A and B are shown apart, each in its own frame.
Chain A
């Protein structure tokens, strides 16, 4: 009991649980930025200038800043979809393929809207994409739940299959006659999402994204399903022993996650595209995995990660015209270092242990 008393008397210390996590995160960010600066030093004529621009550019004008938000939206959706999988200890990387195929299905309804009333058609489009994403994701979910198949490899194979099938659908059914290329006909104007910030491309999509963040948070921490998910994810045998059915949960998680990915696809396409023109996998699904990891599988964490990464990506993309070496792909350095350090349980641990022994020195 004397130990407990000691804990209570102790003043603020960086070795305490929460401050230590913040310190870790901060250190990880500094390390990641420092290394990207070093890389810039090798390739840039004016690394300091480039680096400062990269860190501050989006603040130069409201339009630039709005671009951050635009880039962030699909990452939030992909991050939410993936973190639900990761929470359940499912290494499903299929968000990529689901983004693609649900966008394809949505395009049918975006090109030929059913009602002509903007808001309703938008809802129909998003719902179709969500449904498509959810239903397709049930397949790996079922294979996992029923036979314990390796969900990561299956989802990766499915990405290739869904892409092939999607592209075939686009070329066969959606492409205007007599035109070459891989694009659909133009979306009807009415289905395109409403701009909510004049002079920018920020649409109602950001509101939908933030609502989804809140819903996923509630789902995880406030519902029975979320409780089951957390217990199953941290120890599946314990959950089964406690009487939770893994089978239904697997299917449900896959459906919800796929539906979120589908929504993300629809919001991205209806917000920023005039027609379906993805001729490769968009890469958003994989980035979602990074957001989930950086956000420690917490919806709010993933959203912050999505903002931070979008900030740098937007900045890099805006600077790409002025600098020969800066490109959005360069941000991958920051991404990989951050992800690695954040998922390292022992990062800074030896420092913490030393500090703790020092603090306990008297005992």
Chain B
């Protein structure tokens, strides 16, 4: 076998706070292979990629590129040496055009001026060369779909002649069909001689696309395998060190005399003249989880924010247990029995500068015994904080710790604990486990099931098909602001079947969709 194009030798990363993100990582990447880096969230995959891409410096160890030891001083140098990266969160500026986004940092010039004509021409040629003809290079980034944005990100690396392309969880935001399309493109890149580093925790995809797989757990490598030589079961065991249990049906108990707790009728929403939601109608009974599947950006966010009051309500009704809450303030909605686990836990779900206790009571601090008419009772707040920290096994030294000092999974537990604590009638859970470790994720899943069994109505919105399919009792699919499919049960429903609805290829008959509402 020839010299590996990229070789990591004993890479170790220790953060100043003592966290060991990577320890003695050894990986060799061959030219022209698709090499998957597999491991659960928090295993150290992203840190490792940041080290390769010189966003972070390794504490010790050596990287060899094309046989030479290298010390990139910054991502600039990594890029100019032919390493490109597609980040999990897109690095695109909404007000720029596609062409501008692609050329930024390596702009074609005419004299000392920016050469716009050449920029457009070059990017168009590039898109054509790599079969990305559907991308309009003069379009504004803000007007692109998620999968188009991802293509722009890939084009950015190709524009810089990337030989090694690192893709960090690229399928997290895609439908199954879009994923297939991406995989075909990646295979084509491989044919053209590019090396693809594919980071993912989705095993079936890894098995599908990769030539070789390196497993990372707790910052250590657990070997590199030929994909053809390993089975899913073996990989699963390597990745999490234990067998995965996703059978939630066994945990579910039926709720007797269930009445409708959340009833949404004809919800519509327009943003600056653009229709974001149209005629959304569904209802959820006590002891039920209604899943919402859909590619991101098809109205799920607006629906959740309308119901929970983060954006002003426009038309339609939302009732909780018979009370119309649609035009209420957030506080009134919460008082009516609404709870909400927000998608963006760092921006909406917590304030990192304040203590766990202060964070965990933010939605009910004004109620006795936590406070009186004017004063808050700090002792009671601390007591409540301690109680919830223990109940939800949040890993922290004390309830006085700043939330910012916790890991993502534990921050999410704080959020869930707070939303659980008010004993809500309706829980809206938006991407409740995105980007957190498997341990915390399955704990949170169990809590949601628990709440369901205790008679809460749960609206579960997630881009993770696995999550919605395994937790939900019933399911709706959203496409372009409408409900396009309704499944009263998920028995026998396949991911690819859902994918057709998510992409708008198929649509159910309105009479079936109407069934999503009990009335």
Contacts and interface: CB of A to CB of B under 8 A. Distances in A.
A230 B347 CA distance: 15
Interface stretch (A179-187, A240-248, A257-265, A286-294): A240-248
Nearest to A3: B18
A290 B353 CA distance: 22
Interface string B334-378: 100000101000011111111000100011011000010011101
B16 interface: yes
A235 B352 CA distance: 8
A357 interface: yes
Given A241-B310, A243-B329, A243-B363, A224 B397 contact: no
Interface string B360-403: 00110110000100111010000000000000000001000000
A357 B16 contact: yes
B397 A7 contact: yes
Contact of B18 (A240, A242, A360): A360
A222 interface: yes
B330 interface: yes
Contacts of B352: 234-235
B109 interface: no
A235 B371 contact: no
Contacts of B18: 3, 356, 360, 363
B128 to A, nearest CB: 42
A243 B353 contact: no
A237 interface: yes
B358 A227 contact: yes
29 contacts: A3-B18, A4-B397, A222-B376, A224-B365, A224-B366, A224-B374, A224-B375, A225-B374, A227-B365, A230-B354, A231-B358, A235-B350, A237-B347, A237-B348, A238-B347, A238-B349, A238-B351, A239-B351, A241-B310, A241-B330, A241-B340, A242-B362, A243-B329, A243-B330, A243-B334, A243-B363, A245-B331, A356-B18, A363-B18
A224 B333 CA distance: 20
A249 to B, nearest CB: 12
Contact of B354 (A7, A231, A360): A231
Contacts, number: 75
Contact of B374 (A223, A237, A240, A244): A223
Contact of B358 (A222, A230, A245): A230
Nearest to B418: A242
Given A7-B397, A237-B348, A224 B376 contact: yes
Contacts of B362: 231, 238-239, 242, 244
Interface string A2-42: 01100100000000000000000000000000000000000
Contact of A240 (B310, B333, B371, B376): B310
A251 to B, nearest CB: 16
A241 B16 contact: no
Given A222-B376, A238-B347, A238-B362, A244 B354 contact: no
Contacts of A112: none
A202 B363 CA distance: 46
Given A222-B375, A230-B358, A243-B333, 20 more contacts: A221-B378, A224-B366, A224-B375, A224-B376, A225-B374, A227-B376, A231-B362, A234-B354, A235-B352, A237-B347, A237-B348, A238-B351, A240-B310, A241-B308, A241-B340, A241-B348, A242-B330, A245-B331, A353-B16, A356-B16
A222 B379 CA distance: 11
Interface extent on B, as a size class? 20 to 34
B158 to A, nearest CB: 37
A255 to B, nearest CB: 16
B322 to A, nearest CB: 21
B349 A241 contact: yes
A242 B348 CA distance: 8
Q: Which of B308, B310, B354 has the most CB of A within 10 A?
A: B354
Contacts of A224: 365-366, 371, 374-376
Which 6 residue pairs spanning A and B have beta carbons closest together? A243-B331, A235-B351, A242-B362, A234-B353, A234-B351, A241-B348
A246 B18 CA distance: 38
Nearest to A353: B16
Nearest to A236: B351
A223 B363 contact: no
Interface string B6-33: 0000000000101000000000000000
Contacts of B329: 243, 245
A235 B376 contact: no
Given A227-B365, A243-B330, A238 B397 contact: no
Contacts of B342: 241
Contacts of B308: 241
Given A222-B375, A224-B376, A227-B376, A244 B331 contact: yes
Contacts of A222: 375-376, 378
A231 B371 contact: no
Interface in B296-313: 308, 310
A245 to B, nearest CB: 7
Interface string A343-363: 000000000010011001001
Nearest to B330: A243
Contacts of B378: 221-222
Q: Which of B310, B334, B347, B376 has the most CB of A within 10 A?
A: B376
A240 to B, nearest CB: 7
A242 B376 contact: no
B255 to A, nearest CB: 27
A239 B366 CA distance: 13
B430 to A, nearest CB: 11
A238 B348 contact: yes
Contact of B347 (A235, A242, A244): A235
Nearest to B381: A227
Contacts of A234: 351-354
